[in-house]
């Protein structure tokens, strides 16, 4: 689903950090802000891949959704990024979405849970780690 983590140089968190680093203006993002996504930290994705690889060796190649099973709006996600950056800025949304982008994209994690998977990185914690990485990498 929506994987994020230190080192990733694309997607919304990368865009937010770049804008926060380069301007004090309001953030204007695409969409409505009410799009709901299931963000999962890259370290949790890696743990799930190892778990699935060891537990499900099969010629059928079963599908296991990599997510948390919890959705957060883009507006909520953005507010967590602002808090991690340590600023308050107005945020607005253009209302323009890319064709084909779903409004809600939250994983059914029943198979992952049946394998014993539970995400370990809380969203706020992961965003803070990303912001810390970004600032170090960008010299901010």
Q: In 32-127, which ranges are E strands?
A: 36-37, 39-41, 72-73, 91-93, 104-105
Q: Judge contact between 5 and 43, C-beta under 8 A.
A: yes
Q: Give 56's pLDDT tier (boundaries 50, 70, 90).
A: low
Show the tokens assigned to 84.
């991690």
97's CB contacts (< 8 A; 6+ apart) are: 30, 31, 32, 35
The verdict on pTM exceeding 0.85 is yes
Q: What is the pLDDT of residues 1-48, one digit of tens each?
A: 899 999 999 889 999 999 999 988 889 999 999 999 999 999 999 999
Helix (H) or strand (E) holding 55: helix 42-55
pLDDT at 128: 98
Q: What is the pLDDT of residues 61-90, one digit of tens each?
A: 778 999 999 999 999 999 999 999 999 999
pLDDT at 60: 74
Judging by DSSP bridges, how do beta strands 2-4 and 39-41 pair with one another?
Answer: parallel
What gap in Å lies between CA 15 and CA 12, rounded to an integer? Answer: 5
What gap in Å lies between CA 140 and CA 138, rounded to an integer? Answer: 6
Question: Cβ of 7: how many Cβ atoms within 10 Å?
Answer: 9
53 vs 34 pLDDT, higher one: 34
What gap in Å lies between CA 117 and CA 44, rounded to an integer? Answer: 9
14 vs 60 pLDDT, higher one: 14
């Amino acid at each position: 689903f929506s994987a994020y983590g230190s080192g990733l140089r694309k997607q919304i968190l990368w865009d937010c950090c770049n804008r926060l680093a380069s301007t004090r203006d309001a953030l204007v993002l695409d969409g409505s802000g009410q799009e709901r996504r299931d963000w999962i930290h890259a370290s949790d994705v890696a743990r799930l891949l190892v778990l699935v690889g060891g537990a499900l060796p099969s010629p059928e190649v079963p599908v296991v959704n990599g997510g948390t099973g919890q959705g957060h709006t883009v507006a909520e996600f953005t507010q967590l990024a602002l808090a991690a950056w340590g600023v308050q800025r107005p945020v607005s949304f253009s209302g323009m979405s890319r064709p084909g982008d779903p409004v809600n994209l939250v994983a059914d994690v029943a198979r992952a849970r049946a394998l014993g998977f539970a995400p370990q990185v809380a969203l706020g914690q992961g965003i803070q780690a990303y912001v810390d990485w970004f600032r170090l990498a960008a010299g901010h």
